[in-house]
Structure 1
Amino acid sequence: MFLFEIDEEIALKHLEITDAAPLFRLTDKSRDTLRQWLSWVDYTKTPEDSKAFIESVLKQFADRRGLSTGILYHGELAGVTGFNLFDWTNGIGHIGYWLGTDYEGKGIMTRAVSGLVDYAFYSLELNRIEIRAAYANHKSRAIPERLGFVQEGKIRHAEWLYDHYADHVVYGMLAHEWKNRER
């Protein structure tokens, strides 16, 4: 099992089948906020849907294609972050994340993503991390901006969100930039 302690408040852990019910409750409670930016929310209708998601990300991890983790805040499931995709040939990890609305405004996601980037560059020895966020999703975009990622461009109509297309902003960080930055 993957367990990565970020600090005294936050840890990242593999999602397990036993997390299906808490994950569903967190999703359901945050549904209105999450739906603005995540296309899968309306398809998550029952704890069984969360279980199917967990099964898919466990397979993805076993196949070395990704790593999805639950964000634990004081031991409670607060959100999800991880690598939606690994490109091992080119040394790239693509990070995604979401946080339950009750946990916003505590610096949780910034610290979780920072720890994930450390893990990627120091343990996995990746060369590049990419984060994409919807152009109008200022909270999501604030994470890579706070962490010093470079805004590399904008992809028009990158994602269909229920009734409209959303543009994405692409952020990148290279291993040598992360390791040489001032903390």
Structure 2
Amino acid sequence: MFLHTIDEELALKLPELKDAEKVFELTDVSRKYLREWLPWVDGTTTIEDTKGFLEGTRKGFLEERSLTTLILYKGEIVGTAGFNELNRANDTAYIGYWLGEGYQGKGIMTRVVCALVDYAFTELDMNKVDIRAAEGNAKSRAIPERLGFTFEGRIRQAERLYGNYVDHMVYGILESEWNQTKA
């Protein structure tokens, strides 16, 4: 089992099917909040939907294509974060994340993403980490900006969210840049 301790409050763990009820409950209570930026929310209406998601994350992990984890804050599941894609051909890891509405404003996601970037460079031997967020998603965009990522550009109409197209802002950081920010 994968468990990565970040600090005294935070850890990341590989999801198990027994986590489905907690993840679904968190999704359900944060549904309106999450729906603004996440297209999968309306399709997650039962615990079975969440089990399907968790099975997919485990398969991606076993095939070394992705690494999606559950965020544990003081031992409680508060969201997910990880590498939606691990592109071995180009040594690039693509980070994705979401946090339950009641856990915003505690610095949780910034610490989680910082730990994921470290992990990508030290454990997965990646050259680059990429984060993409919808243009209007200020909270999500603030994380790579806060961590010293470079704004690399805009992908126009990159995602359809409930009938509207949104542009994605692309942020990246190279291993050499990350090592300089930590020095």
**TM-score > 0.5, shorter chain as reference:** yes
Structure 2 SS opposite 1:7: coil
* Cα displacement string for residues 114-149 of structure 1 (whole angstroms, at most 9, x for unaligned residues): 001100001111000000000000000001011000
Match of 2:150 in 1: 150
* Cα displacement string for residues 14-65 of structure 1 (whole angstroms, at most 9, x for unaligned residues): 0110110000000001101110000000000011100000001101111110
Match of 1:161 in 2: 161
Match of 1:178 in 2: 178
Aligned partners of 2:53 and 2:124: how far apart in 1? 24
The amino acid that maps onto 1:115 is A
How many residue pairs were aligned?
183
Structure 2 SS opposite 1:171: strand
Q: What is the TM-score when the length of structure 1 is the normalising length?
A: 0.99
Instruction: Write out aligned runs for 1:5-154 (5 A).
Output: 5-154=5-154
Q: What is the TM-score when the length of structure 2 is the normalising length?
A: 0.99
- Backbone CA RMSD of aligned residues: 0.7
What stretches of structure 1 move > 4 A for 4+ residues in a row? none
The amino acid that maps onto 1:91 is D
Aligned partners of 1:12 and 1:107: how far apart in 2? 15
The amino acid that maps onto 1:152 is E
Structure 2 SS opposite 1:181: helix
The amino acid that maps onto 1:98 is W
The amino acid that maps onto 1:131 is I
Structure 2 SS opposite 1:97: strand
Deviation at 1:89, TM superposition (A): 1.1
Deviation at 1:182, TM superposition (A): 4.2
Deviation at 1:181, TM superposition (A): 1.0
* Identity in percent: 57
Aligned partners of 2:178 and 2:37: how far apart in 1? 27
